[in-house]
Amino acid sequence: MKLSFVARPLVEADGDVLVVGGYAEEKRLSPPVAALDRALKGLLSEVLRTEKFVGKPEQIAYVHTAGRLPARRVLVVGLGRRKELDAERVRRAVAAAVRRSRDLGAKVVSTALLVDDLSPKVSAQALAEGALLGAYTFDRYKREKNEKAVEELRVVDPQRRQEAAIKNGLRLGELFAGAACFARDLVNEPANRVTPTHLAKVAAEIAKDGRLRLKVYERADCQKLGMGAYLGVAQGSQEPPKFIHLTYTPRGRGRRKIAIVGKGITFDSGGLDLKTADGMRTMKDDMSGAAAVLAIMRSLPALALPLEVHGIIAATENMPSGTAQRPGDIVRAMNGTTIEIGNTDAEGRLTLADALAYAAKEVEPQELIDLATLTAAVVVALGNLCSGVMWSDKPLADRVLAAAEAAGERMWPLPLIDEYKELLKSDVADLNNVGPRGGGALTAGIFLREFAGSTPWVHLDIAGTAFSEKDLPLGPKGGTGVGVRTILTYLMEEARRR
Ligand code: BES
Ligand code: ZN
Ligand code: ZN
């Protein structure tokens, strides 16, 4: 979908559909929409009345213009109450409007900026994100594809002086949504395609296109580095593990360093502690953290932020086999910590243990962030619409939470209660990789904290949010690309903070 800016009053906007916003609890149409209504001789307000359009979020009504306006249809999308309006309302409204336009067969959609209360840049970014995320589909394996697609979205604004800000917002929105959709594609691809080797290949393409540094450690390299926890998980699979390290280096020296680690289990069968059939059904999504890291790293050259960013993925499958790791095995992580395998299905934290220890030791970043589909417990706690956030550094977590809010991704703090470290005690090793059922997201977080060491660290448990079994306002069922826009927003703020 091409995005463009057109300086023109709404009554002169063309296209197959012209999208405008309608607020709840307002008697009168906003002035530009009222102008459209006058041109249509009151037809728009009449249809809104008979269709009982009340401006509820994402509610839609539309009319044909029958030649009275250059646009062939005017579509009004609900924005809810004016005083509750934020960027997320705009994203969702535009997503709904673009989907409906597509279903109507529209190729060119014009839209007003929708809101005056947000800055033109923020508004335009939200608009672009809503359109691109909302129109996302994954049909590359289907014979029957949706032939209908919106090819162009034109943002119409009468004022030329907002042009630069709007174009800037559109570009950012395109970048952010493009990144999220890149992650969605990787998650939606099945595990027979997306192997650790495939992730390494994708990393190589990203490195080549964006001139990033790439180091891929093979099994033997990881052995030399002492990554026993990661390799213990990998030993059950026929697929060779790939430890991926991408680096974005900005121009200039002495920049702050940030490392982002993503859980990259390309399929989680549970290992010898095998999952149930239903528990395994969506476990191709267990590399969603890795997908987010790749998507973020891929976007950095275009953003040109003055930050050194490291993307790290310990990619492997978790499979049961004659060579698989057993419950009761003891492994040694890169930082020297020994771990008793209480359950082979708690494999994510084992791979992350070495990835975090590697990041802390080899990169020495000022900030360390991980994204992981880590625990079923976080789904029990927060459901499928909210990720869990845990940390060793509160100011860092506060900044990530603020970025999530701005990006419209729900994330909520969970406490890493020190006394719960007891629950990870082992009789034979420094740590057990599992605790009791209660507080499962927290003990997983406490386990990870040991390997981040003294580096300020924040952990996002995206087990509930990375993959949706239902269509959502900003995308169809399947991979969601969660975390991508939050971290990109966070990085942009970080670049500004200095
Ligand atoms: N990948 C799973 C977590 C998961 C569960 C992600 C549901 C998405 C949806 C993880 O590796 C896992 O199996 N965790 C276990 C840990 C347990 C054995 C301590 C869990 O949460 O059940
Ligand atoms: Zn598991
Ligand atoms: Zn897993």
457-489: pLDDT as tens digits? 999 999 999 999 999 999 999 999 999 999 999
In this prediction, residues 184-199 reach a mean pLDDT of 98
8 Å CB contact between 217 and 316: no
8 Å CB contact between 128 and 35: no
Active site residue 83: no
Per-residue confidence (pLDDT) for residue 115, from 0 to 100: 82
Report whether pLDDT(175) > 90: yes
Q: Where are the domains of the chain?
A: 2-157, 178-496
User: Among all ligands shown, which has an atom nearest to the Cα of 263?
Assistant: 3
Phi, psi of 334 (to 5 degrees): -60, -30
**CA distance readout (Å), 447 to 220, 440, 464:** 26, 11, 20
374-419: pLDDT as tens digits? 999 999 999 999 999 999 999 999 999 999 999 999 999 999 999 9
Per-residue confidence (pLDDT) for residue 255, from 0 to 100: 82
Average pLDDT over the chain reads 97
CA of 110 to the centre of ligand 3 (A): 43
Query: What HEC string does 251-314 produce?
Result: CCCCCCEEEEEEEEEEEECCCCCCCCHHHHCCHHHHHHHHHHHHHHHHHHHHHCCCCEEEEEEE
**CA distance readout (Å), 375 to 330, 364, 383, 444:** 21, 27, 12, 7
The percent of residues in the chain predicted with pLDDT above 90, rounded, is 95
> Which helix (H) or strand (E) covers residue 60, if one does?
strand 60-64
Per-residue confidence (pLDDT) for residue 254, from 0 to 100: 64
329-351: pLDDT as tens digits? 999 999 999 999 999 999 999 99
Phi, psi of 310 (to 5 degrees): -110, 130
Report whether pLDDT(441) > 90: yes
Single out the catalytic residue among 121, 184, 263, 349: 349
21-48: pLDDT as tens digits? 999 999 899 999 999 999 999 999 999 9
Q: In what order do the strands lie in the sheet with 308-318?
A: 213-217, 242-248, 308-318, 257-268, 367-372, 457-461, 387-391, 411-413
CA of 269 to the centre of ligand 2 (A): 7
258-308: pLDDT as tens digits? 999 999 999 999 999 999 999 999 999 999 999 999 999 999 999 999 999
* Structure-token pair, residue 247: 């680096």
Active site residue 349: yes
8 Å CB contact between 331 and 310: no
Give the integer Cα–Cα distance in Å for 14 and 4. 13
* Predicted structure pTM score: 0.98
User: Among all ligands shown, which has an atom nearest to the Cα of 432?
Assistant: 1
Tell the CATH superfamily of the 178-496 domain.
Answer: Zn peptidases (3.40.630.10)
Phi, psi of 62 (to 5 degrees): -145, 160
Give the integer Cα–Cα distance in Å for 77 and 171. 23
112-130: pLDDT as tens digits? 987 878 899 999 999 999 9
412 contacts: CB under 8 Å, gap ≥ 6? 382, 386, 387, 388, 389
103-113: pLDDT as tens digits? 999 999 999 98
In this prediction, residues 302-331 reach a mean pLDDT of 98
E strand spans, 341-491: 367-372, 387-391, 411-413, 431-432, 457-461, 467-468, 478-479
Multiple choice CATH, 2-157, 3.30.360.10, 3.40.50.300, 3.40.50.170, 3.40.220.10: 3.40.220.10
Nearest ligand 1 atom, CA 435 = 19
**CA distance readout (Å), 365 to 214, 246, 314, 492:** 17, 14, 18, 17
CB of 196 closer than 6 angstroms to any ligand 1 atom: no
